[in-house]
Amino acid sequence: MLPSYSIPTCTFRLYPLELIQPQTPKRLLLLHTIIIMASFILYFFLIFMVKADPDPLQDYCIAQTQGSQPFFVNGVPCLNPADASPSHFTTTALSKPANTATNPLGFNVTLTTTRNLPGMNTLGLTMARIDIAGNGLVPPHTHPRASEVTILIKGSLLVGFVDTTNRLFTQQLREGDAFVFPKGLIHFLYNLDSKAPALAISGLTSQNPGAQLASAATFTTKPSIPDDILKKAFQINGQDVSRIRRNLGG
Ligand SMILES: *[C@@H]1O[C@H](CO)[C@@H](O)[C@H](O)[C@H]1NC(C)=O
């Protein structure tokens, strides 16, 4: 069942007043005003809750990544704007294919960061280059702080995400097709071609999207999640737990 957000304002609103006194037009007007105001407050509250990164307060805040940081802020401190240069707003980080042979799944994701693209600090976005070998897989994972839109540049991909009702949405992408993964939902990208590598580019709605792999977050955590919990959660035995841990390098 989906939770309902609008019902509460309606249910708790009037009963006390309505039951105590008969309605006059004036009082009705007042009540309606209160209801409308309450709805607005709830609306803005919800908008605030789903907001992406906070808005910047200046044109740019080029990440100051040199030297040690004497204090900690929500993001990365700004370089003196007088020292800004065009090079702070460009990067070659996404220009070369990354190595997909260093992991058994055959994928490699290269991100823009405040280190390789300091001009993106506080702008609320990240770009990603996704290289996937033949039949390679970016395994099911989530980005807790970002929605993601992916465009397939080369190859053919099967992409998909699962919503909170456990419904799967998949699509087979051809070159030039794009697909969007809503914020926080588990998703994957699979190269359908057994030989040709695939190349996709993503934009993400946070400068620090974060990534949690479903498999790693359960079987290769440090310290380990107790076996009994994994046995029960996945309805498997202790040998299964050990085998999956071993296979995932945990
Ligand atoms: C991704 O590719 C880079 C450069 O090609 C390599 O250094 C890195 O180890 C790779 N990462 C993974 C997770 O395979």
The DSSP result for 147-198, as a single string, is -EEEEEEES-EEEEEE-TT--EEEEEE-TT-EEEE-TT--EEEEE--SSS-E
| One domain for residues 27 and 121 | no
Strand partners, 213: 141
Please give the Cα distance from 10 to 7 (Å, whole number). Answer: 5
Mean pLDDT of 3-14: 40
In a domain, 214, yes or no: no
Number of domains in the chain: 3
| One domain for residues 87 and 102 | yes
| Pocket flag, ligand 1, residue 208 (CB < 6 Å) | no
Q: Could you report the per-residue pLDDT of 174-196, keeping only the tens digit for each?
A: 999 999 999 999 999 999 999 99
Q: Is the pLDDT of residue 14 over 80?
A: no
In a domain, 235, yes or no: yes
Mean pLDDT of 60-68: 86
| One domain for residues 16 and 113 | no
In a domain, 174, yes or no: yes
| Pocket flag, ligand 1, residue 11 (CB < 6 Å) | no
Report the predicted TM-score, pTM, of the whole model to 2 decimal places.
0.78
Mean pLDDT of 233-241: 98
In a domain, 215, yes or no: no
| One domain for residues 115 and 176 | yes
Q: Is the pLDDT of residue 205 over 90?
A: yes
Q: Is the pLDDT of residue 202 over 80?
A: yes
In our burial notation (b when 16+ CB lie closer than 10 A, e otherwise), range 61-79 reads: bbbbeeeeeeeeeebbebb
| One domain for residues 58 and 109 | yes
In a domain, 179, yes or no: yes
In a domain, 1, yes or no: no
Domain at 140, CATH number: 2.60.120.10
Reduced to 3 states, what is the DSSP secondary structure of residue 118?
Answer: helix
Mean pLDDT of 76-89: 95
More confident residue, 73 or 101: 101
Pocket test for ligand 1, best of 96, 100, 102, 109 (most atoms within 8 A of CB): 102
Atom 4 of ligand 1, residue of closest alpha carbon: 98
Lookup: tokens for 148: 């993601």
Q: Is the pLDDT of residue 15 over 80?
A: no
Please identify, by atom number, the ligand 1 atom nearest to the C-alpha of residue 98: 5
Q: Could you report the per-residue pLDDT of 97-122, keeping only the tens digit for each?
A: 999 999 999 999 999 999 999 999 99
Q: Domain containing 237: what range?
A: 220-250
Please give the Cα distance from 41 to 47 (Å, whole number). Answer: 10
